[in-house]
Amino acid sequence: MPHETISHHILLIDDNTLDVDLFERAIRKTNSNIKLDLARDGDEALACLKQWESGTALPIVILLDLKMPKVNGLEVLRTLKSHPRFKTIPIVVLTSSNEVANIQQAYDLGVNSYIMKSVDYDEFARAVMLIHHYWCQLNIYPE
C-alpha cells in the first residue's frame, strides 16, 4: 500500500498552546493523512497509556516537550521506556531546552532523537516536515 494512503498516528505532548498551533499548521502542510493526538501535560500523556493498554492503536512516534506542569517530559519518557509494550515507540524530544543535563538524561532514558524548537516559524515548520518525512515515510516499524 502506498505511504500516502496510510494514516499515521502521532502523539504530541506539549503544554505550549502556540507551539501546538505551529506544529498543527506545519503538519497540515505535509499533505498526509496524519491522526494527531494531543496531551497538554505529563498527566494527560500518562493517561494515554491506559487507553493503549485497553487496545487503542499505538502512535508510530511520540513528540515530547520536556518542560511541562504536573509531570515533566523526562518522567513521561522514563515511564514509557520502562514499559514492556510501549518502550519500542520512538520518542522525539521537541523542546526549547538546550541544557546539557536534559539532553544527556533524555538519551540515558532511551530517547530516539532530541530536537530544539526554533522560535522562527519557517525553521520550526521545516523541522516538523523533516520529522514527518523521517518517521512517517522513511522509518520502518516492526509489525
Q: Residues of the chain with pLDDT > 90: what percent?
A: 62
What pLDDT sits at residue 115? Answer: 95
Paired residues of 37 in beta bridges? 11
Topology of the domain comprising 3-138? Rossmann fold (3.40.50)
CA distance 93 to 111: 7
Predicted confidence band at 7 (pLDDT cuts at 50, 70, 90)?
A: low
pLDDT tens-digit readout, 49-70: 888 888 788 899 999 999 998 8
Is residue 35 within 8 A of residue 8, CB to CB? The reply is yes
Helix or strand (DSSP H, E) at 27: helix 17-28
Question: Using one digit for the tens of pLDDT, what is the confidence trace for 75-94?
Answer: 999 999 999 989 999 999 99
Domain layout of the chain by residue ranges: 3-138
